[in-house]
Amino acid sequence: MSTLKTTVKLESTTLFPTPINVTKISTEQIGGEYGAFQSNVIPAAEIETLFTNNSLLGNSGILYLYAESASANSAGYSIDLYITNNTTNDSAYFARLIPGDVLYLPVYAADSAGIKIEARNNDPIRSATITYFVGARD
């Protein structure tokens, strides 16, 4: 079993009437499927599969997803993330990353037939790069 430690920090002196400084550290146990950080170059207006499996993800059904849209991607265009339930083939759009955006999300991905996570490059002309990590909690 591996340990995944994440730190989320929200800080602003101008966004709210009073300054905020919130830091949350979370340590998770990754015991299911996982892979190394990967970077994919998604062709213009194309969809790529980032992760797919064909069975329930561990005992919890929780999948930790980190995704980052490269800062060099075209301004004004995003990468959209979708999750598909393999049993029903229902797909849900759950995130939009503009260049430089970072996402860390625990995804409830419990489906006995598995799930699929895809990324769509919304730029109609240029390719876009996404870096990601997927780790399943057992």
Whether the Cβ atoms of residue 47 and residue 93 lie closer than 8 Å to each other: no
Write out the two tokens for 115.
């799930």
Of the candidates 89, 86, 91, 93, the one whose C-alpha atom is nearest the C-alpha of residue 53 is 86
Per-residue model confidence (pLDDT) at position 8: 93
Q: Which residues pair with 96 in a beta bridge?
A: 80
CA angle 9-100-66, nearest 5°? 60
Query: Per-residue pLDDT tens for 41-95?
Result: 999 999 999 999 888 777 888 999 999 999 999 999 999 999 999 999 999 999 9
Global pTM? 0.90
Assigned domain for 37 exists: yes
CATH number where 107 lies? 2.60.120.510
Q: Sorting pLDDT into bands at 50, 70 and 90, what band is 111?
A: confident
Q: Rounded to whole angstroms, how far apart are CA atoms 19 and 44?
A: 41
Structural domain for 91, as ranges:
29-137
Domain count, the chain: 1
Distance CA 19, CA 14 (A): 7
